[in-house]
Amino acid sequence: MELTRLLVANRGEIAVRVIRACRELGIESVAVYSDADARAQHVLVADRAVRLGPPPPTESYLSIPAVIEAARATGAQAVHPGYGFLSENPAFARACERTGLIFVGPPGDVMARMGSKIDARALMQSAGVPIVPGDTPHDQSDEGIRRAAERVGLPVLIKASAGGGGKGMRRVQDASALLEAIQAARREALAAFNDGTLYVERLIDEPHHVEVQIMADHHGAVVHLFERECSVQRRHQKVIEETPSPLLTPTLRAQITDAAVRAARAAGYRNAGTIEFLVEPTAHDGDARFYFLEMNTRLQVEHPITESVTGVDLVHAQLAVAVGRPLPWTQDALTQRGHAIEARVYAESPARGFVPQAGPLWLVREPRLPGIRVDTGVAEGDQISVHYDPLIAKVVAHAETRVAAIERLTHALHAFPILGIETNVPLLVAILGHSAFREGRVDTGFLDREGRALVDASVPTALPDPVRAVFGASAPSAPVTYRTGISSRHDWDPWATLRRGTA
């Protein structure tokens, strides 16, 4: 079957990225938007755009009827869900299947099984994939969860069965904090996933987060595209990711990728997915232990680093597999070449407890450098809204070696001015310069331990002379340099040119 029109059921950088793939493949793209996003970048780069509803996600990007109707009205044959929003909602995948729409992802029932973290753990255990020791209480009351935590033994993680992205998850060190943590996790899980089911896991001490990208087709082929190390996290939100992992030995890499393929086969998986593992490092090579953490049944935020080192396009492959074509590559054809690192740029204030920021982007100039890829869904003059995820850009550096990739990424961040909204860019620069990161020995607790010092070090305490000189110079000719609206997009946005050429 030939795919000619695709609806992208998402917003921001991932919608822009999927629409770019459509353009490269000659597929017509349909964007969807809420009233807050009527002039957002993902809307401007698409061939068609359909309004879903008011800004709150439940009335727009999370509304299954609205998205399905948008696909029907525009004659789209397939829907790409991106990540977040409806991407891991089995009801949405099934609604697409019922309506005769191709859902670019796994079948709804596979997603449901892997989306329940509790069922996924049971399935992995039966497939011989190691899991973190834990307890899933039938008694879901506060008392039931509390007793489960005591059975597992503190410290523990309280986790939402439907969870992801750190939402509905609480780390508990001592018994006095248990009740507040259980209630907060349940409230957050209910709000985010409409499912408050919780389970308890032993807290693995200072683990690395290593995940494996896999891809499966309708014809029984399952391949892995190696690992990504995502240990730089703040409260389970990834901040910097890289591949290859500095922790894995060739032996461990073979074991963990093999386990990932086994896991995908056991799940009857199709399309792109990621198996996340916790790796407990030890002093002796080959002695490190890894545990299945969860499976993400969608494209990951950090997929570009895998694309950089393997040289493949995962979205192209997703679209091919979705219409029943075989995987474009065999396992033997896939290799890791060089090193890639991604830094996530968040609209947040590290100095004020990482509160998300909303407001106008006065000035944004993306770095344009060899070996640097910037995936973003915003541009100068746009408004960052309070309604959605604070991720505004991903900067990916690819180079021959890890050291060269770190230098390249640092340089790119030095050349990425964002004014009007506070971001974590100064913090990203500080992390890349930290000795623990440079030496590749960062575990998932690193940012929570070192974050305060890194933030303090990245907040300027005095004006450097050149900046003082600029502020001191006569007032700028135009008092306010930010603009609203779309009329004045700059020439650094290649989409503007591309769109004019093909419209």
Report the interface residues with other proteins, using CB under 8 A.
Answer: 57, 167, 184, 187-188, 191-192, 349, 352-353, 355-358, 362-363, 365, 386-390, 410, 413-414, 416-420, 422-423, 425-426, 429, 458, 460, 462-467, 469-471, 473, 475-477, 479-482, 490
Per-residue tokens: 468? 């003082």
Determine the Cα–Cα distance for residues 258 and 365; give it in Å rounded to an integer: 42
Active-site residue flag, 72: no
161: CB partners within 8 A, 6+ apart:
116, 117, 118, 136, 189, 195, 197, 198, 199
Per-residue tokens: 311? 């040289």
**How many other CB atoms are there within 10 angstroms of residue 23's CB atom?**
17
CB closer to other proteins out of 25 and 496:
496
CB of 259 to other proteins, least distance (A): 31
Residue 470 burial class via C-beta count within 10 angstroms: exposed 0-12, middle 13-18, buried 19 and up: exposed
CB of 371 to other proteins, least distance (A): 18
CB of 204 to other proteins, least distance (A): 24
CB closer to other proteins out of 441 and 483:
483
CB of 390 to other proteins, least distance (A): 6
CB closer to other proteins out of 244 and 390:
390
Give how far Cα 10 sits from Cα of 37, 79, 81, 98, Å.
11, 10, 6, 20
CB of 465 to other proteins, least distance (A): 7
Determine the Cα–Cα distance for residues 145 and 178; give it in Å rounded to an integer: 9
CB of 277 to other proteins, least distance (A): 25
CB closer to other proteins out of 363 and 374:
363
121: CB partners within 8 A, 6+ apart:
131, 134, 136, 199, 292
Q: What sign does the CA torsion over 57, 366, 364, 242 have? A: positive
Would you say how long the chain is, in residues? 503
DSSP state of 202: E
Determine the Cα–Cα distance for residues 134 and 145; give it in Å rounded to an integer: 12
CB closer to other proteins out of 154 and 457:
457
The three-state secondary structure class of 31 is strand
Q: Tell me the CB-side half-sphere exposure of residue 416, using CA atoms within 13 A.
A: 31
CB closer to other proteins out of 6 and 172:
172
CB of 184 to other proteins, least distance (A): 7
CB of 474 to other proteins, least distance (A): 9
CB closer to other proteins out of 14 and 248:
14
CB closer to other proteins out of 202 and 489:
489
449: CB partners within 8 A, 6+ apart:
none
CB closer to other proteins out of 131 and 418:
418
Strand bridging mode 102-103 / 78-80: parallel
Q: What angle do CA 179, 183, 189 make, to 5 degrees?
A: 145
**How many other CB atoms are there within 10 angstroms of residue 376's CB atom?**
21
- CA Rg value for the chain: 22
Considering 17, 146, 298, 408, which one is annotated as catalytic? 298
Per-residue tokens: 246? 């500095």
Taking Cα atoms as reference points, which of 203, 379, 361 lies closest to residue 278?
Answer: 203
Three-class SS of 49-80: EEEEECCCHHHCCCCHHHHHHHHHHHCCCEEE
Determine the Cα–Cα distance for residues 404 and 360; give it in Å rounded to an integer: 34
Catalytic residues: 298
